[in-house]
Amino acid sequence: MKTSLRLSSLFLLTALILTACGYHNPYIYTGPEKSVYVTHWKNKTNALQLDTKIYQSLTRWFQKSNSIKVTNAKAGADLILAGEVLSIQLPSLSYGLGNNATTVKVILTVRYILKDIKTGEVLLEVPSERWSEDSRTTQSATATTDNEDRALATIIDNLSEKIYMKALDRLSTPNT
């Protein structure tokens, strides 16, 4: 009985502290409803389906909020998010037996813009952003490709999360 009472008291105290300090979930936008048209990014690289992977990741992140709707049509959308993959580099960092890469690095350079369609106001613009991820691999060419794919997936998810968080911050901040 005492343990249950202590746990209940601890839970209540934690809840009070979190609400008293103004805690809010930074991953959720609760402002006025907005619709965002996410474009397929231009892909200036030879990496196939890279634009589609970024599009899907961005869409997943923006769907986390009930107040933001992702639309596939520009007409009627409040915001437009567009971007471009400028480059991708896959330099191998070290080599093992048989001259196979044991550590790979993926470097992705992108640019993007978030704009209010009705007012033309640029809410977020990043002219160049570089992302990199290292990955250890085993002694086979297949494992090297798999690790490059995993590293790229990590970059894409981190990039999408950052864009989403920046967009929420910008949408939550009154015009200055």
User: What percent of the chain is modeled with pLDDT above 70?
Assistant: 70
Convert the pLDDT of each residue in 126-173 to its tens digit: 999 999 998 776 555 555 677 788 899 999 999 999 999 999 999 987
- 36-69, pLDDT tens digit by residue? 999 999 999 999 999 999 999 999 999 988 889 9
Domain 31-172 falls under CATH 3.40.50.10610: yes
Taking the domains of the chain in order of start, what are their residue ranges? Answer: 31-172
Q: Is the pTM of this model over 0.75?
A: yes
Q: How far is CA 18 from CA 96, 133, 149, in A?
A: 51, 34, 39
